[in-house]
Amino acid sequence: MPANSMHEEVLNALRKVEDPDLKRDLVSLNMIQDLEILNGQVKLRVVLTTPACPMKAKIEADVKAAVLSVEGIQNVEVKMDSRPRGSTIQGSNSIPGVSHIIAVSSGKGGVGKSTVAVNLAVSLARAGAKVGILDADVYGPNIPTMMGVTEGPQIENHPTKGELFLPPTSHGVKVMSMGFLIQGDQPLVWRGPMLHNVVSQFCHKVNWGELDYLVVDMPPGTGDVQLSLAQLVPVTGAVLVSTPQEVSMQDVRKAYHMFEKVRVPVMGFVENMSYFQAPGSTEKHYIFGKEGGQILAKKFGVDLLAQIPIEQTVREGGDEGRPISVSQTSSDIATKFADLAGQVVRKVSVLANQAIDPSQIVQIGKF
């Protein structure tokens, strides 16, 4: 068979392989690169949208099977790769080098938002992504403690951008927090415009380098920081955290509507403190009520991404600066967080693939 028609045959076979999330074939998604065919031997590169793709093994197997189904092909060598980083949503307000911004939010404080943000971030990093976490909870910046960071950021003198913060790295994640910038136990009494400036500085005056995901731990509620973030940068999507009881769910509904108003897609709910199971027992105690997360997810038509039980080790991991997803990687809860990370990666990939027009990013004009 002539070389060019063999090339076409292999491509045709690959046109039958779909990205399971994007529901489009790999050829039209431009994911097949450097295809070489010589004497029945095929070499190619599959370029995924993220190094943390949980579908990587399936896609690789599907590609190999498709290529080998072509008559005359004896062997295939597949290199799994991912696209160079850079904001998928182009616009003057994107953060240079940062592909996706994921907001972790809740209606109430104390429901485990920071715990979820930290474990999500380290799980994404463990899956192979480059990750940063931005602690935007200016009222209760707990991320340095939870990530075990003691040293604040360095200051770098950038030739065009002036002074930039260089965030420290912990457990493979770059960390930036208001907690680095306030002295001791000083409470913050800043008003909207000042908060807006702080969020802006955190987005644009930090040298994040190249990141696949920037996870943002939001303050509880639906206040100025949320609005500023949505206004200042393209947020790919939000994860909402709630405990199962009615009062927490009431507040998370408000958070949902706020994200809807500022046109940030809600990727799903995480129900935290879902139940307690005493060590060695199989009985589950639903301390904060049962199935609140499911009811909420159903009502809004979004997914319940995870149900995380109450466990002493989770609290200890937070207090000791070693998240459970780092310290006990094979535990049931670390597996739940890894699964959450996989689901978030898939949702982000779908959202980023829907052509998002930068003019759709709302300007609230509040400040």
Quote the least distance from Cβ 135 to ligand ADP, whole Å: 10
Nearest by Cα to 16 from 77, 76, 56, 66? 66
Beta strands in 1-97 (DSSP E): 18-19, 24-25, 32-38, 41-48, 75-82
Residue 192: CB atoms within 10 Å = 14
Residue 200 or 331 having the CB closest to ligand ADP: 331
Which range touches ligand ADP (CB under 6 A), out of 2-10, 113-121, 183-191, 354-362?
Answer: 113-121
Quote the least distance from Cβ 162 to Mg ion, whole Å: 30
Residue 86, interface with ligand ADP (CB under 6 A)?
no
Q: Bridge partners of 132?
A: 174, 214
Residue 100 CA to residue 210 CA, distance in Å, equals 11
- The owner of tokens 């405990």 is 243
Among 51, 54, 112, 293, binds ligand ADP (CB under 6 A): 112
Residue 285 CA to residue 134 CA, distance in Å, equals 34
Residue 47 or 314 having the CB closest to ligand ADP: 314
Nearest by Cα to 101 from 119, 87, 81, 112? 87
Quote the least distance from Cβ 239 to ligand ADP, whole Å: 12
Residue nearest to Mg ion (CB): 114
Nearest by Cα to 3 from 36, 44, 47? 36
Quote the least distance from Cβ 113 to Mg ion, whole Å: 5
Quote the least distance from Cβ 166 to ligand ADP, whole Å: 25
Q: Which residues bind Mg ion (CB under 5 A)?
A: 114, 137, 142
Quote the least distance from Cβ 277 to ligand ADP, whole Å: 11
Quote the least distance from Cβ 139 to Mg ion, whole Å: 9
Residue 14 or 218 having the CB closest to ligand ADP: 218
166's CB contacts (< 8 A; 6+ apart) are 153, 154, 155, 156, 206, 207
Number of residues located near ligand ADP, criterion CB under 6 A: 17
Q: Bridge partners of 237?
A: 102
Q: Do residues 192 and 181 make contact, with C-beta atoms less than 8 angstroms apart? A: no
Residue 292, interface with ligand ADP (CB under 6 A)?
no
273 binds, among Mg ion, ligand ADP, none (CB under 5 to 8 A by kind): ligand ADP
Residue 332 CA to residue 309 CA, distance in Å, equals 10
Among 91, 97, 109, 209, binds ligand ADP (CB under 6 A): 109
Residue 130, interface with ligand ADP (CB under 6 A)?
no
Q: Do residues 291 and 254 make contact, with C-beta atoms less than 8 angstroms apart? A: no
Task: Give the x/- contact pattern for ligand ADP in 271-290, rule: CB under 6 A.
Answer: -xx-----------------
The amino acid present at 167, given as its one-letter code, is P
199's CB contacts (< 8 A; 6+ apart) are 136, 225, 228, 229, 232
Residue 22 or 195 having the CB closest to Mg ion: 195
149 binds, among ligand ADP, Mg ion, none (CB under 5 to 8 A by kind): none
Residue 135, interface with ligand ADP (CB under 6 A)?
no
Quote the least distance from Cβ 319 to ligand ADP, whole Å: 6
Q: Do residues 85 and 211 make contact, with C-beta atoms less than 8 angstroms apart? A: yes
Residue 177, interface with ligand ADP (CB under 6 A)?
no
Among 310, 326, 334, 338, binds ligand ADP (CB under 6 A): 310
Residue 107, interface with ligand ADP (CB under 6 A)?
no
Residue 346, interface with ligand ADP (CB under 6 A)?
no
Nearest by Cα to 214 from 175, 240, 178, 177? 175
**Binders in 186-245 for ligand ADP, by CB under 6 A:** none
Site residues, ligand ADP (CB under 6 A)? 106, 109-115, 142, 272-273, 308, 310-311, 314-315, 318
